[in-house]
Structure 1
């Protein structure tokens, strides 16, 4: 088979998650994270977005109403990653999460990005992050990316809120 390279402007359009309780999922994705509800499909599915898009996240209980979370040690989605436009935007959502006492599962500096990690109410991993400008991404001597996982400076992130 000949080599194929996906077009550079290709992106992930949306995710669709099975949830046990639709309202509880909406409380998390809309109430806490601030996504907007774009439509409901009866009482079994909802679609939410940022900025008026038709949907970034689909939520449904078609095969999962009342079900326990997926096993952590099994196959499946590791996490959903949500990209914020700026470091200050990441600081705003971090402050919101911190104020309500929602638990983080991690906070990392990856060189190319800074990320907060948490689980939604169904145990699905969620990464909230912003990308540093590409010209600041660390590189190895061969030109490949030098990604790493260091602790995120949370105080430094919150200091973004005081900048104009």
Structure 2
């Protein structure tokens, strides 16, 4: 068994690393760790990782990711407060990057895509004591974010 602790970083092929980096800076507040020709490495504020996202330019006319094809479906970033999902939804809508939202029982999620079509999830984990039937299961249901903020906003 390999004793993995967590995912440390992801690397994406994009059409233009500078353009993609600008998106991730604007959307997430990621900071540039290092740049080199055709590549940018970013770190989330407060991250203990050297970098959380690497971006490599391939070609301005490269095809985007295809849904349903073999490969990465999406990345998921966890936020500390349920109210951060409201912020995420608003920011992604401003950037034209919002794709939807879901209630997964033990997690609540907002979905978006970067300028190259790489999909990502912004997710918040419900307090463990409230997992109930979702301890060993999940659901894909419409998210009532106002209800979740009313329920968990003060204690998340």
Aligned length: 151
Q: Where does structure 1 lack aligned partners over 5 or more consecutive residues?
A: none
Which residue of structure 1 aligns with residue 18 of structure 2? 23
CA–CA distance in 1 between the matches of 2:125 and 2:136? 13
CA–CA distance in 2 between the matches of 1:94 and 1:130? 13
1:151 aligned to which of 136, 139, 142: 142
Listed one character per residue, the Cα deviations across residues 140-163 of structure 1 (whole Å, up to 9, x for unaligned) are 7xxx51310111113346769x96
Listed one character per residue, the Cα deviations across residues 90-126 of structure 1 (whole Å, up to 9, x for unaligned) are 222222223x152422200101110011111111111
Q: Where does structure 2 lack aligned partners over 5 or more consecutive residues?
A: none
Alignment pair present for 1:60 and 2:75: no
Which residue of structure 2 aligns with residue 105 of structure 1? 99
Which residue of structure 1 aligns with residue 116 of structure 2? 122
CA–CA distance in 1 between the matches of 2:78 and 2:97? 19
| TM-score normalised by structure 1 residue count | 0.80
How big is the alpha-carbon RMSD for the aligned residues of Structure 1 and Structure 2?
A: 2.5
Cα 1:47/1:88, change in 2 over 3 Å: same
Greater shift, 24-33 or 88-97, is seen at: 88-97
Asked whether the equivalents of residues 11 and 55 of structure 2 are also in contact (C-alpha less than 8 Å), the reply is: yes
* Structure label with greater radius of gyration: 1
